[in-house]
Structure 1
Amino acid sequence: MYQKILCPVDGSEGARKALSESVKLAGLTQARLLILTVFRHHSLLDASLSMVDVDDPDTVEDVLRAHAVGICEEAKSAALQMGASHIRAVVKRGPPARTILGFAEQNRADLIVLGGRGSGDAENYLLGSVSHKVTSLAKCSVLVTHP
């Protein structure tokens, strides 16, 4: 049935629920599990604020990437503990919905499983949530979970 299941994670409760469902479905169908964490590019304001402390070599971009890597590694570890095998975990930078959709297409995902509520910002309430955009634009099946 499914050969590749993509589960985008952001560290939220909704993402943990989506991961659990992804692992169950991957086990039932012998599908490969793709875990994706997306972090946004920082704004010019963030960049200017990061220049205030010249003793700190980390840029805002480095901090965001490190945080995303931690979330992705935690999700992979949790999936392994739940019994998943054939897991690939990836961190990407970009607009969340567009990055998820592009990754799904590039990797020929048959199914995207994501949480209905993530750890997004106020922009998501004004422009539409990531899950709404993904369900509207995906070229494969999408399962939205709720905590």
Structure 2
Amino acid sequence: MFKRILVAVDGSKTSLKAMDTAIGLQQLSPDTEILLLCVYKHHSLFEASLSIGRPVAMDIPDKVLSDYAKEVVNHAKTRAREHGATRVRGFVKAGRPSKTIVKFAQDKDADLIVVGTRGTNTDKDGLFLGSVSHRVASHAKCPVLVV
């Protein structure tokens, strides 16, 4: 069916539901590989210097965000294995989430991208789809399943 499924994870409930859906698809075809990707927004040193509050020991925002993204991916990998995933790898990338997800899918020859309807930036009065899932579905070269 699918050889490689990319799942965008951000720690939200909907991204974990998307991952569970990918695990279900993998169980139909055990040779399928699941790629978990967490994308964080890159902050330049200039952007960091514009911060109003200065902690005693200032961490560069990219380091903090990268570390958090790694935690998200590791949690997702652990959960995926607990739910029966057999072939799963995790990745962390910096960039604009929608563009990075689409490019990563192309670079890794993903057959399918699975995303949640909304991520961590939920706006209950807004669109039915979040902006990232909408952009991914609009620009991906492979099928996109929005969960």
Provide TM-score, normalisation by structure 1.
Answer: 0.87
- The CA distance in 2 between the partners of 1:41 and 1:50, in whole Å, is 19
SS at match of 1:11: coil
- The CA distance in 2 between the partners of 1:98 and 1:137, in whole Å, is 8
Which residue of structure 2 aligns with residue 3 of structure 1? 3
1:136 aligns with 2:138: yes
Assess if the C-alpha contact under 8 Å between 1:37 and 1:92 holds in 2: yes
TM superposition shift of 1:120:
2.9
Assess if the C-alpha contact under 8 Å between 2:22 and 2:34 holds in 1: yes
Q: 1:61 to 1:47 in 2, by over 3 A?
A: farther
Q: More helix per residue: 1 or 2?
A: 1
SS at match of 2:18: helix
- The CA distance in 2 between the partners of 1:46 and 1:26, in whole Å, is 41
- The CA distance in 2 between the partners of 1:56 and 1:102, in whole Å, is 35
Query: What do residues 20-49 of structure 1 show as CA deviations (whole Å, max 9, x unaligned)?
Result: 001110121221000000000126444432
TM superposition shift of 1:132:
0.5
- The CA distance in 2 between the partners of 1:144 and 1:35, in whole Å, is 15
- The CA distance in 2 between the partners of 1:47 and 1:81, in whole Å, is 42
1:52 aligns with 2:61: no
Which residue of structure 1 aligns with residue 94 of structure 2? 93
Amino acid across the alignment from 1:21: T
Provide TM-score, normalisation by structure 2.
Answer: 0.87
Amino acid across the alignment from 1:25: L
- The CA distance in 2 between the partners of 1:29 and 1:50, in whole Å, is 51
TM superposition shift of 1:50:
8.3
Q: For structure 2, list consecutive stretches of 5 or more residues without a partner in the other structure.
A: none
Q: For structure 1, list consecutive stretches of 5 or more residues without a partner in the other structure.
A: none
Q: What is the aligned residue count?
A: 141
Assess if the C-alpha contact under 8 Å between 1:47 and 1:59 holds in 2: no
How is 1:13-24 mapped onto 2 (pairs within 5 angstroms)?
Answer: 13-24=13-24
TM superposition shift of 1:61:
1.2
